[in-house]
Amino acid sequence: MCGIIGIVGRDEEDVVVDLINGLERLEYRGYDSCGVAVVTGGSILRARAVGRLQNLKAKLDDSGLSGCVGIGHTRWATHGKATENNAHPIMTRDVAVVHNGIIENHKELRFDLQNDGYIFETDTDTEVAALFLQREMDRGASHRDAFRRLLKNIDGSYAFGVLFNALPNAIVAARHRSPLAVGLGRMTCVGSDAASMSGMCDKIIYLEDGDQAEISTNGVSFFDKNFQHVERKVHKMSDNWADSDKGKYPHYMLKEMMEQPNAIRKTILHNQMDHHILDGVSRILILACGTSYHAGMVARYWFEKFLKIPTNVEMASEYRYRSPIIEDGVMAIIVTQSGETIDTLEAMEHVRRNGCSRVAAIANVKNSAISRSADFVFYTEAGIEVGVASTKAFTAQLTILAEMAFHQHEFLLRELQNIPTLCEEILLSHDRLKEIAENIQKANSVVFLGRGALYPIALEGALKLKEISYIHAEGFASGEMKHGPIALVDDSVPVVCLCPHDELFDKNVSNIQEALARGSNIIVLSDSSGSPLLPAEVTKIILPRVQSELAPILYPVPLQLLAYYVALLRGADVDKPRNLAKSVTVE
């Protein structure tokens, strides 16, 4: 889950500042280490640093590094620890390489290269690519032939950006199962996503799987997996990244939580359901990972209740390693924030290969790999989400899934339009959540409970807390408490219960009583009707009343805020939690 950027400047313009700007927009993909390399004076020079981008900036201030062609990288470590030696760009005498992906046969290639006398200096899989290129050129191959031989000999996933000493005015790039695009504008760029090129480019060309590109001061050439020259479609680049700063907020996560009402409104406005999309569908298959998987789990309750269509929800990362049966009449719904998640993309391709003829996608990024491959696309109009922990994209995903489930139920669709206002009520009065965070911050473990369609929201609440505060948290179906999880509960373990006043209220109260008999820190989210009926000993968070079917869109909001305030109290980086990256582009 790394981010790469490459820039070919115009009229000998220095690109180092622009490389850093591009890396800032890519830092959500990884922030273990970072680096840049430029061609200058017939040589490739680089600077690298461990940790955040400001560490690299400090080095560059002292180094005076400059050049009109360069590449940059921000890393999420896979092979090798986060050290400066393992940071990209990886260099040999004549080559510098940045890479997003995993070279699965790196051990075999390493063995061959070592037998040929080449010495490895890093623990990365990427170094085999750099040394392979160096060996081929030492044997007399041109840069183009060396690169193509590399692509033929590696297994796995990659997005490469390569500088060659012998090619001082160009960058050579290629992709396989990892996202990569070329940007055209003030500069000519290559990058992991459109965001990295924002401000420099106004047009974008997405490389297809297996494509190779040569970006130079003379223009851009594209080649397909057979190395035949091809043309690729040019798209207008969105200017959404103009609004991607934190503004008045201390963190992106807080800003993005506060943007949820507007994101939900825009998502409702821009997604009108075609009532015929489900014609002939006998089963729905939802594929997703992480937070998006939880949205899919909620949708299963909705789809089976209101559409009367059997629905399966599968973890995309596991799905294709089973032997799933895809019968006629199945519609797959792919749920993803980035539209580039490798596990989800691979699962989507798996269902395609196995006969699924109708694939819909729910994505937040236009022209992403998954949205380009789907038959139907519904966009969550959440805007750019920078914080690693998804907030507004999640509630926007739920909004689209609700529109799909309720498309024949006018009353629920009208009620859905009230959700943004109710969401605003929570966001404008969350001091109570700050107080409760004080009672959670020192816990070693937290339990979340929910029933029905709020069970996935309990899972999501636990995920948010563990993602950004590093407290161990687990979500459970409330009815499963007595089948094992209740053994975890004592006075030191807070229990967060989702308990709106609905048809399951009495059963939820019974579970709360069971928890109270074993622990003293029980936190209950309910509404004005349910709150007076709760045991006096619990800590209450009172939310606006909402139609029970729509509670899964509203109840995540206070859980996000609770996780945020706990993380702040513990001194964690809420926007860039350790070991995580926003877009998962490697297996």
Catalytic residue set: 2, 582
CA separation for the pair 269, 265 (Å, rounded): 6
H/E run at residue 316: helix 316-319
Return the ∠ at Cα 378 (arms to 374 and 383), rounded to 5°.
120
Instruction: Name residue 214's beta-bridge partners.
Output: 172, 221
CA separation for the pair 28, 281 (Å, rounded): 38
Helices (H), strands (E): how many in the chain? 19, 25
Residue in 211, 270, 181, 198 with CA at minimum distance from that of residue 237: 198
Residue in 517, 528, 474 with CA at minimum distance from that of residue 496: 474
CB 497 within 8 A of CB 511: yes
Tokens representing 341 are 């998640």
Residues 6+ apart with CB under 8 A from 159: 4, 99, 100, 101, 173, 174, 175, 178, 179, 180, 192, 585
Tokens representing 129 are 């690519």
Handedness of CA 226, 227, 233, 237 (dihedral sign): positive
CA separation for the pair 378, 510 (Å, rounded): 40
H/E run at residue 114: helix 106-115
Strand runs labelled E in 207-310: 212-216, 219-223, 229-230, 235-236, 283-288
CA separation for the pair 116, 113 (Å, rounded): 5
For residue 451, the SS3 value is: coil
CB 560 within 8 A of CB 534: no
Q: What is the amino acid identity at position 367?
A: N
CA separation for the pair 520, 522 (Å, rounded): 6
**Residue showing tokens 């850093």:** 20
